[in-house]
Structure 1
Amino acid sequence: MGIYQYGDDNTYSAEDYIEEEIPPAEGVKPNQLVSGKVPKGDGVLTIGTLLPQSGDLAFLGPPEFAGVDLAVQEINEAGGVLGKPVKQVKADSGDGTPNIAPSETDKLLRGGADAIIGAASSSVSLSVIDRITGAGVVHFSPANTSTAFDTYADNGLYFRTAPSDVMQGSVMANLVLGDGYDNVALLVRQDSYGEALAENVTKFFEESGGTVVSTQLYDPNAASYSAEVSEIAGQDPDAVVLIAFDETKKIVPELIEAGLGQK
């Protein structure tokens, strides 16, 4: 995993590369093998995209949709699949508030999707994974990191390219310790993504000799985060690990006001 640092001129360069291993699962369980009734195909490969067009992760949507569009274009320019062009059906995953993903997933399944790409959010994917894999359809995410997927009963149909939080937690812990911080506080989005990553950051940080002085979970829809920030400030940490989405831009000013900004 590469660690990049932005400069004052808004350009960035690689500062460090950290290698970690994800511990192997204790064997593959029967409910993780391809099983169940596989739907009969119609001879046309149809890709469904369940990606964020709205919500806190909407800024991720355009490049993710563009990636799928490019892949479909290149496949079709090369002759398609089984001599037929690949089709695409699109849907909005949202961010879980409100939870529109299940109904959007149903739209993709009705549209004949053979594989569904998305969601970006781990929590959103967890809300639809049973719908997708239960229909015998491949479920693939370019962004899910929650450890909940590590051994999920997915009938062998769930895949992702983002590393599990087991790895990301270790990388974050090593990065913070490498920067010289021994006592940290965690301010964490209360959802599948935030809680799983926080758990692994804490585990690896403490195993390496660091101390987590406070862990504060917050509601991403809250109007203010002053209570959580005040609690952290009272513990006087060396650094704060913030695990957040778009609400970061509201949280950081509160951290700075509480004297927890970069010195």
Structure 2
Amino acid sequence: MKHFILTSAIVTALAAPAWADTLTIGTATAQTGSLAYADVPTMQGMKLAIDEINAAGGIGGTTKIELVEKDVRSDPAQTSIAAQELVDAGVSVIVLPGDSDPSLAAIGVVSSAEIPAISTVASSPTLPEIGGDYMFSNFPGDNVQAAVSAKWAWDEGHKTAWIVYSPDTQYTTMPLYFRDVFEKLGGEILGESTNTIGQQDFSAIATTIAAEDPQPDVVMTSAYEPDFPSMLRALRAAGVTGQIVGSDGIDSPTTFSLGDVGEGVVFTTAGFATEGSPLEDFDKNFARKYGNAPESIYSAVGYDLIKVIEAAVIAANGSTDPKAIRDAMADLEDVQGATGLITYKGTNGMPLRQVSLIRVKDGGRELVGQPSPEANLIPEPRMQ
């Protein structure tokens, strides 16, 4: 009888699952419609990361990434349809639009198929809570951003504030988190106004705020295009002189083209390219690929999304099985992205990642700070 002695290296190799040749990622994103301002640049960043990974031989030097793309036209119903089409196509991961509402429309599809889904830039902390174990976010949470901006406003000496929010979407209720934190710090909310998504006339809201005597030190909103430019113009035209505080939804070329009206606006977002940072390198690589610098942070966040998926596949020993990727993703710590380190372990689907405070200055970005939010100030997720 012949006897064979297996070395430990051979045993390990036999026990480990074989690395797949291809990882297929399905994207159900808004390439047209109201969310395209975020999802189009996010997809550009994703494709830059994929090109870099594939040029190096794939994930782990072995597994190439392929995309199956669907345009959901910023529509929740179309998002659900596209997600099902991607499931039927056999993808291992699904990328959903940059807002919680259309992403949540795909809950049933994602949960039934047990395929991990990650939104491009949706920041509502309720997304993974409502979406379940297979739903992930890819952006600092609304409650975290609000904790950072409220603490900054208070530290700047602002004692009173007015919030403007819309109940139409999860994201546009971020000012309610700001209110909670600002009041906890000792600030006073003088009033609240609500608007509808797509509202064109903000004169009534602006007149109400301007009539306060004294006016609030801060006006905080999470309105985004096209609402935010209209709101800001109305506020300044009515004579509102206080500090305007916004959120990542206004990190767009429009905000920086408003001239004197936009000067001094401060907002939270996911990163700022300091000298020698990974984000500075990303911006250079992006410009080489596309011929122009990124117009917003969303491109870098898209790049980070692919780096997270890459890290999950590596942690899953090269498996492209959706459940294995999901389990590995939920346990990731300190994944190096273009915007900084990203952690999912112990976060219930919401990433721990850096928040940057940016000021609009001379039509460009000025870094105000990159503070770590105080854990005791971060409000619990608010169900709408």
- How high is the TM-score relative to the length of structure 1? 0.73
Report sequence identity in percent: 25
Spell out, residue by residue over 1:48-80, the C-alpha distance to the aligned partner (whole angstroms, 9 max, x if none).
Answer: 122221223322233211222123223333334
Q: Secondary structure at the match of 2:105?
A: helix
Q: Which residue number in structure 2 is paired with residue 107 of structure 1?
A: 85
> How far off its partner does 1:121 sit?
1.1
- Residue 110 of structure 2 corresponds to residue 132 of structure 1: yes
Within 5 Å, give how 1:79-228 maps onto structure 2.
79-80=57-58, 85-96=64-75, 99-149=77-127, 151-152=129-130, 154=132, 156-190=133-167, 191-195=169-173, 197-228=174-205
**8 A Cα contact 1:132 1:138, kept in partner:** yes
Amino acid corresponding to residue 189 of structure 1 in structure 2: S
**8 A Cα contact 1:177 1:210, kept in partner:** yes
Distance 1:113 1:232 in 2: 50
Cα pair distance change 1:134/1:222, threshold 3 Å: same
Amino acid corresponding to residue 252 of structure 1 in structure 2: L
Q: Secondary structure at the match of 1:140?
A: strand
Question: More relative contact order in 1 or in 2 (CA 8 Å, sep 6+)?
Answer: 2
Q: Which runs of 5+ in 2 are unaligned?
A: 1-19, 244-384
Q: Which residue number in structure 1 is paired with residue 230 of structure 2?
A: 250
Distance 1:100 1:232 in 2: 38
> How far off its partner does 1:86 sit?
2.4
Spell out, residue by residue over 1:165-194, the C-alpha distance to the aligned partner (whole angstroms, 9 max, x if none).
Answer: 221111011121122221111112331011
Q: Secondary structure at the match of 1:65?
A: helix
Q: Which has the higher helix share?
A: 2
Amino acid corresponding to residue 27 of structure 2 in structure 1: T
**8 A Cα contact 2:79 2:106, kept in partner:** yes
Equivalent residue pairs, number: 219
Amino acid corresponding to residue 217 of structure 2 in structure 1: D
- Residue 259 of structure 2 corresponds to residue 259 of structure 1: no
> How far off its partner does 1:150 sit?
5.3
Q: Which residue number in structure 1 is paired with residue 30 of structure 2?
A: 52
Distance 2:146 2:113 in 1: 33
Q: Which residue number in structure 1 is paired with residue 55 of structure 2?
A: 77
Distance 2:82 2:210 in 1: 41
Q: Which runs of 5+ in 1 are unaligned?
A: 1-41
Distance 2:50 2:77 in 1: 28
**8 A Cα contact 1:129 1:139, kept in partner:** no
Q: Which residue number in structure 2 is paired with residue 6 of structure 1?
A: none
> How far off its partner does 1:84 sit?
5.5
Q: Which residue number in structure 1 is paired with residue 45 of structure 2?
A: 67
> How far off its partner does 1:233 sit?
2.9
> How far off its partner does 1:100 sit?
3.0
Alpha-carbon RMSD: 2.5
**8 A Cα contact 2:21 2:64, kept in partner:** no
Amino acid corresponding to residue 87 of structure 1 in structure 2: E
Q: Secondary structure at the match of 1:74?
A: helix
Spell out, residue by residue over 1:86-122, the C-alpha distance to the aligned partner (whole angstroms, 9 max, x if none).
Answer: 22111224434x7532223233223322111232112
**8 A Cα contact 1:46 1:113, kept in partner:** yes
Cα pair distance change 1:229/1:113, threshold 3 Å: farther
Amino acid corresponding to residue 254 of structure 1 in structure 2: A
Amino acid corresponding to residue 214 of structure 1 in structure 2: G
Q: Which residue number in structure 2 is paired with residue 33 of structure 1?
A: none
**8 A Cα contact 2:39 2:97, kept in partner:** no
Q: Which residue number in structure 2 is paired with residue 22 of structure 1?
A: none
- How high is the TM-score relative to the length of structure 2? 0.52
Which structure has the greater CA radius of gyration?
A: 2
Q: Secondary structure at the match of 2:209?
A: helix
